[in-house]
Amino acid sequence: QLQLQESGPGLVKPSETLSLTCTVSGGSINSSSYFWGWIRQPPGKGLEWIGSIYYSGGTYYTPSLKSRVTISVDTSKNQFSLKVSSVTAADTAVYYCARRLVRGPTIDYWGQGTLVTVSS
Partner 1 sequence: QSALTQPRSVSGSPGQSVTISCAGTSSDVGGNNFVSWYQQEPGKAPKLLIYDVNKRPSGVPDRFSGSRSGNTASLTISGLQDEDEADYYCCSYAGSYTFVVFGGGTKLTVL
The residues binding partner 1 (CB under 8 A) are 37, 46-49, 52, 60, 62-63, 96, 100-101, 103-108, 110-113
Q: Nearest distance from residue 79's CB to partner 1, in Å? A: 18
- Give 62's contacts (C-beta < 8 A, 6+ positions apart): 48, 49, 50, 51, 69
CB nearer partner 1, residue 16 or residue 49: 49
CB nearer partner 1, residue 15 or residue 102: 102
Q: Is 90 helix (H, G, I), strand (E, B) or coil?
A: helix
Q: Nearest distance from residue 62's CB to partner 1, in Å? A: 7
List the helix and strand counts (H, then E) for the chain: 0, 11
CA–CA distance, 58 with 6 (Å, rounded to integer): 21
Q: Nearest distance from residue 52's CB to partner 1, in Å? A: 8
